Amino acid sequence: MRVILAEDSTLLREGLVRLLVEEGHEVPAAVGDGASLIEAVAEHGPDIVVADVRMPPTHTDEGLRAVLEIRRRRPGTRVLVLSQYVEKRYATELMSGDVDGVGYLLKDRVAQVGDFLDALDRVGAGGAAFDPEVVRQLLARTTHVDPLARLTPRERDVLDHMAQGCTNASIAQRLSVSQSAVEKHVNAIFDKLGLLHVTGYSRRVLAVLRYLGS
């Protein structure tokens, strides 16, 4: 894939470029701020963008806002956010639209290089990849509205895994329950959240995250 990288840490940026090239990807541009990222995407038209959230000049949310601007200018651009933080406002905005080809991982929780590369491939292929902690924090954001309060602890576990992009079979394996039990929980979640007609893997994630943005 052709990957454009935005990371303000020179050491990390160079390390990621080297890793991506070694894995057979092309990196036409690697930049250190949000404005340069937007320009690089316009110039090179990459297959996927990998972006940090906090970059110059304010080191708050420039990278995430740049990603949103890129998605507005080039709908469907695949993006993988790689950050130390969950910027709830813009993360919700990013995930409340079409999440095909969208990912958000926390740097400290990407334990293995293989996990990062797997997420990159998944998002690059049009799938989704969300860190469970990101999902948990965004779920907590909506406590005051709270149809989620109607979910049982097990249904919350299933919802977390759904939002990570797991299939029912994968959830069953991770939670050590039968697949039919997971299907029952999924139907209950959709029922309680009013999402009865949402089907398909990424559509399930989209439905949940749209709810979070409501």
In this predicted structure, the answer to whether residue 96 has a pLDDT above a threshold of 80 is no
Q: What's residue 167's pLDDT? A: 79
Which of 10-19, 113-122, 188-197 shows the lowest mean pLDDT across its residues? 188-197
- Cite the DSSP H helix spans in 23-152: 34-44, 62-73, 88-95, 113-124, 132-141
Q: Are residues 96 and 161 in the same domain?
A: no
pTM value is 0.66
Q: What's residue 10's pLDDT? A: 92
Q: How many CB atoms lie within 10 A of CB 161?
A: 22
Q: What's residue 97's pLDDT? A: 63
Q: Are residues 93 and 157 in the same domain?
A: no
pLDDT tens digits, 128-172: 888 877 777 766 655 455 666 777 888 888 887 777 767 788 889
Indicate the number of domains in the chain. 2
- Read off the CATH number of the domain in which 174 is found: 1.10.10.10
In this predicted structure, the answer to whether residue 60 has a pLDDT above a threshold of 80 is yes
Host domain of residue 45: 2-143
In this predicted structure, the answer to whether residue 207 has a pLDDT above a threshold of 60 is no
Q: What's residue 57's pLDDT? A: 86
Q: Are residues 9 and 86 in the same domain?
A: yes
Question: What is the identity of the amino acid at 146?
Answer: D
Q: Are residues 109 and 197 in the same domain?
A: no
Q: Higher pLDDT residue, 201 or 56?
A: 56
Kindly state the tokens that stand for 59: 């080191």
Supply the mean pLDDT for the chain. Answer: 82
Winning range, highest mean pLDDT, from 110-119, 128-137, 143-152, 203-212: 110-119
Q: What's residue 180's pLDDT? A: 92
CA distances, 29 to each of 50, 75, 169 (Å) = 11, 20, 39
Q: Are residues 49 and 120 in the same domain?
A: yes
Whether the CB-CB separation of 55 and 63 falls below 8 Å is answered with yes
Last residue of one domain, picked from the residues 143, 170, 204: 143
Q: Higher pLDDT residue, 116 or 144?
A: 116
- The pair phi, psi for residue 71, each rounded to 5°, is -65, -30
Q: Are residues 86 and 166 in the same domain?
A: no
Q: Are residues 98 and 133 in the same domain?
A: yes
Q: Are residues 137 and 169 in the same domain?
A: no
Q: Are residues 109 and 21 in the same domain?
A: yes
In this predicted structure, the answer to whether residue 70 has a pLDDT above a threshold of 80 is yes
In this predicted structure, the answer to whether residue 20 has a pLDDT above a threshold of 50 is yes
C-alpha to C-alpha distance for 25 and 17, rounded to whole angstroms: 9
pLDDT tens digits, 40-57: 999 999 999 999 988 888
Q: Are residues 33 and 67 in the same domain?
A: yes
C-alpha to C-alpha distance for 158 and 17, rounded to whole angstroms: 35
C-alpha to C-alpha distance for 105 and 85, rounded to whole angstroms: 9
Q: Are residues 108 and 199 in the same domain?
A: no
C-alpha to C-alpha distance for 161 and 182, rounded to whole angstroms: 11
- Read off the CATH number of the domain in which 128 is found: 3.40.50.2300
C-alpha to C-alpha distance for 103 and 131, rounded to whole angstroms: 8
Q: Are residues 13 and 39 in the same domain?
A: yes
Strand residues in the chain grouped as ranges (E): 2-6, 26-31, 48-51, 78-83, 102-106, 128-130
Q: What's residue 201's pLDDT? A: 43
Is 19 among the domain residues? Answer: yes
Is 51 among the domain residues? Answer: yes
Last residue of one domain, picked from the residues 102, 125, 143: 143
Last residue of one domain, picked from the residues 104, 121, 143: 143
